[in-house]
Structure 1
């Protein structure tokens, strides 16, 4: 079963928004989410682009991320190169702080 609804909700999009961006009627996309019908290959690729995920993600062929992880990944993919560099620097500073705290506890 496709994970359309999960990825759409993580992307904070409404059914109508995804349907419009993919170029299909609202009812068509709604049926895909409910599992009443399935998109063709081209449509599925468009959905993955709109929802900022891979086809493996949509089809459940890969390890499933938590809702929070999917939200973070969607935000990451929307960042500029400068934004990504900033986020990585902040994460590195947190990791360094965590490492120092672990060493202090071990001593």
Structure 2
């Protein structure tokens, strides 16, 4: 199993020390996870996901893809977070705008 902790942490410009503190583990533990020498337990995966603003599945690379292209960018994460915090009416507007932009981009 390949954890995506290091990639996600670096994309968000979070230091190993800050991440370790947010998750409630030592820097040594984080380093061990990032090198694939050990793995977090369920609570640690959950805390890591909270600290990185992603799902536990993303931490565990359970999206069916193992390549870096499958990782969500910080801009994409911001869009998803804003969408989720919006009212249903605004969610519909956001979806329509995204579809229109994607369609227009394909024509060029």
TM-score (norm 2): 0.68
Residue of structure 2 equivalent to 1:14: 15
Quickly say closer, same or farther: Cα 1:78–1:13, change in 2 above 3 A: farther
Do structure 1's residue 75 and structure 2's residue 42 form an aligned pair? no
Higher RCO (CA 8 Å, separation ≥ 6 residues):
1
TM-score (norm 1): 0.68
Quickly say closer, same or farther: Cα 1:13–1:77, change in 2 above 3 A: farther
Aligned length: 99
- Taking the aligned partners of 2:31 and 2:11, their CA distance within structure 1 comes to 16
Gaps of 5+ in 1: none
RMSD of equivalent CA atoms: 3.1
Residue of structure 2 equivalent to 1:36: 37
User: Max radius of gyration: which structure?
Assistant: 1
Query: How far off is 1:42 after superposition?
Result: 0.5
Gaps of 5+ in 2: none
